[in-house]
Amino acid sequence: MIEVRWHGRGGQGAVTSVELLAVAAIAAGKYAQGFPSFGPERRGAPVAAFTRIDDKKINVRSGIYEPDVVLILDSSLIGLVNVTDGLKPGGKIIVNTPKTPDEIRKDLNFSGTVATVDGTGIARKEMGVPIANTTMIGALLKVTGVMELDAMKDSVEHRFGRIAQKNLNAMKRAYDEIKISN
Amino acid sequence: MAKRIGMEVAVAVAEAVGLCDIDMAAVYPITPQSHIAEHLSDLVADGKIDAEFVTVESEHSAMSAVIGASGAGARSYTATSSQGLMYMHELLPIASAMRLPITMAIANRAVSGPLNILNDHSDIMPQRDSGWISIFVENAQEAIDMSIIAFKIAENKDVMLPVNINIDGFQLTHMVEPFEMPTQEEVRNFLPPFVPHATLHPAKPVTMGAFAMSDYFPEIMKAKDEALKNSKKIILEVWDEWAKMFGRAYKPVETYKAEDAEVLMLTMGSMGETAQMAIDELRAKGVKAGLVKLRLWRPFPFAEIKAAVKNAKKLIVTDRAVSFGGPGGPVFSEVKSALYAEAQRPVIYDYIYGLGGRDVPVGDFVGMFERVLADTANKEVDTYEFWGVRE
């Protein structure tokens, strides 16, 4: 089982992303959970959301305290929120930032895998909006290899209709452009 | 077999209800139930289901509206949570006394105060004696299946009682997870149209919700009690029919590795699957641990509970509500009284946990087992404790 914790701010679409990813994983024949951090959420305030994906039925329903992967949608949260909290040794951290993985590694003082991509820049170019939630799914799939990028197509089309392709293009670019440092 | 799909559970519940040819729904939104209200109203507004969605200004009015509609012969649905359910409270015994087959989803949530929107069972427990059939579900699949099954149980002419389905708020309602959704055709094959035994219609006047003083009131109470007790037979039949059609069997009490267990735990609702992982962990260490899951809260399944626990030495009952100043949590009281006259029964412990959404990881369940195993002299039995609460 792979457990992912997403950090973002209210309104950046972390919850939408965990839903899209879980729906796509289930459609691909896997078992998955996607859930928000339970409770009230405010636009702009730090939020977290969670993904579990496995090849067998998932029974656990408690929170995720020791994720395999942390994905940061908004790099301004680094230093504000303890983003590496509980991250497994040998875990992976993915950040939406124009910085290099080594720069982020220094910022976080983290020794595991660090991957960065300018998701917001890609989202601006591909979709005309600075919202990188779907873009960063591409980054997550590349870093984790949990499923094929193509597996996202149906769930993104179902959710976004005529603007789905732009989201898929942005996702593909993040998949191709992400820089990974082990 | 139907294909597994993923969807948020609250939305999936609304989809399932949408397959049931309901005539009307009156749902007032309240966290964490709101997505049921929103999606059901979408289904009506988009013309996907032919039903009336009555917009009401409160839960009291929502329950009043479904009582009126059900009395008129409409298949009627509502859903609520926490304070909304408390606000409906005075109407719940009226719905059951009038023998109206209303079904209601409850996205279980803590009751104020202090204000809290997260999951526990303190909203449903005060409704225990309102004369409704009360069912708890554990995951998305059960929430969907029971949402459909409830209509068939409620509308059976030998039942004619309202049913509530308890779906843990957030833990279940806000979870995207896999399940199989029956097709419209399958649901229509399972659930025939609602044929009321009497309706409020000017062409054939009847009285519903009549006045009764001491000359009739006790007999009516006894009749309601018997109706609820008798409903169990039909509940079992309907679950059996569901199992034959869909391959998913339901029982009033489910067990997991309980047959040879020396220490059992009893859970209700979504905690069951997490507790199952604790059982696996303990079994791997050689501890004979097992799990009992109580699905049917009313009518209470006395025989099944007795049978499930009789060979165990110790039983840990878990409660997600408090009976302040009372003997322990409401589930503990019930189970204890069910076993009181049994010659062979386990000693019972009660842990009140997960209040107001407090997370309960696998390790906490393991901890509860370790705690009662360490109590070799049975000094902590027959009492209750707030598990993991700071002093």
Q: What is the CATH number of the domain that holds B124?
A: 3.40.50.970
> What is the least distance, in Å, from the CA of A179 to any CA of chain B?
30
Name the residue among A35, A38, A59 with its Cβ closest to that of B276: A59
Give residue A98's pLDDT.
Answer: 98
B222, B246, B270 — which closes off a domain?
A: B246
Sign of CA dihedral A85, A86, A87, A89: positive
Same domain, B75 and B185: yes
Name the residue among A33, A34, A60 with its Cβ closest to that of B277: A60
> What is the least distance, in Å, from the CA of B230 to any CA of chain A?
34
Nearest to B33 by CA among B77, B72, B1, B80: B80
- CB contact (8 A) between residue A38 and residue B118: yes
Q: Is residue B44 part of a domain?
A: yes
- Asked if B53 contacts B24 with a C-beta cutoff of 8 angstroms, the reply is yes
Q: How far apart are CA B160 and CA B99, in angstroms?
A: 5
B219, B246, B273 — which closes off a domain?
A: B246
Q: How far apart are CA A29 and CA A51, in angstroms?
A: 16
> How many inter-chain contacts (A to B, CB under 8 Å) are there?
72
- CB contact (8 A) between residue B361 and residue A65: yes
For B177, name the nearest residue in chain A, comparing CA atoms only: A33
Same domain, B241 and B299: no
Q: How far apart are CA B133 and CA B297, in angstroms?
A: 8
> What is the least distance, in Å, from the CA of A146 to any CA of chain B?
17
Same domain, B218 and B294: no
- CB contact (8 A) between residue B178 and residue A32: yes
Q: How far apart are CA A156 and CA A170, in angstroms?
A: 12
- Provide the domain count of chain B: 2
Name the residue among B5, B175, B277 with its Cβ closest to that of A35: B175
Same domain, B220 and B274: no
- CB contact (8 A) between residue A61 and residue B276: no
Please state, for a pLDDT cut of 90, what percent of chain A lies above it. 93
Full residue range of the structural domain in which residue B341 is found: 253-386
Counted residue by residue, chain A has a size of 182
Predicted confidence band of residue A83 (pLDDT cuts 50, 70, 90): very high
Give residue B1's pLDDT.
Answer: 54
Chain B residue numbers with beta carbons less than 8 Å from the beta carbon of A39 are 117-118, 170, 357
Q: How far apart are CA B361 and CA B324, in angstroms?
A: 25
> What is the least distance, in Å, from the CA of B9 to any CA of chain A?
11
Same domain, B172 and B35: yes
Nearest to B163 by CA among B267, B295, B33, B323: B295
The DSSP bridge pattern shows strands A92-96 and B263-267 to be unpaired
Same domain, B205 and B277: no
Q: What is the DSSP string of A33-93?
A: EEEEPSS---BTSEEEEEEEEESS-----S--SS-SEEEES-GGGBTTB-TTTTPPTT-EE
- B→A contacts (Cβ < 8 Å), by residue, are 4-8, 117-119, 170-171, 174-178, 270-271, 273-274, 276-277, 357, 359-362
Name the residue among B174, B274, B276 with its Cβ closest to that of A62: B274
Q: What is the DSSP letter of A147?
A: S
Q: Is residue B85 part of a domain?
A: yes
B230, B246, B262 — which closes off a domain?
A: B246
Predicted confidence band of residue A105 (pLDDT cuts 50, 70, 90): very high
Q: Is residue B391 part of a domain?
A: no
Give residue A41's pLDDT.
Answer: 77
Q: How far apart are CA A74 and CA A119, in angstroms?
A: 10
Same domain, B214 and B358: no
Same domain, B241 and B321: no
Region label for B388, one of left (φ > 0), alpha (ψ between -120 and 50) or beta (otherwise): left
Same domain, B180 and B295: no
Nearest to B162 by CA among B249, B227, B84: B227
Q: Is residue B160 part of a domain?
A: yes
Q: Is residue B340 part of a domain?
A: yes
Q: What are phi and psi of B83, to 5 degrees?
A: -60, -30
- Asked if the C-beta of A56 comes within 8 angstroms of chain B's C-beta atoms, the answer is no
- Asked if A177 contacts A103 with a C-beta cutoff of 8 angstroms, the reply is no
Residues of chain B scoring pLDDT < 70: 1
Interacting residues of B358 by C-beta distance below 8 A, sequence separation 6+: B388
Same domain, B337 and B188: no
ipTM reported for the complex, 2 dp: 0.95
CATH number at B373 reads 3.40.50.920
Q: What are phi and psi of A60, to 5 degrees?
A: -70, 135
Q: Give the pLDDT mean for A151-157.
A: 96
Domains defined along chain A, listed by start = 2-181 (3.40.920.10)
Structure tokens at B207: 């009285």
Q: What is the pLDDT of residues A115-138, one digit of tens each?
A: 999 999 999 999 999 999 999 999
Q: Is residue B202 part of a domain?
A: yes
Same domain, B288 and B225: no
Q: Is residue B327 part of a domain?
A: yes
Report cis status (omega within 30 of 0) of the bond before B32.
Answer: yes
What burial class does residue A116 get, using C-beta atoms within 10 Å of its C-beta: 0-12 exposed, 13-18 middle, 19+ buried?
Answer: buried
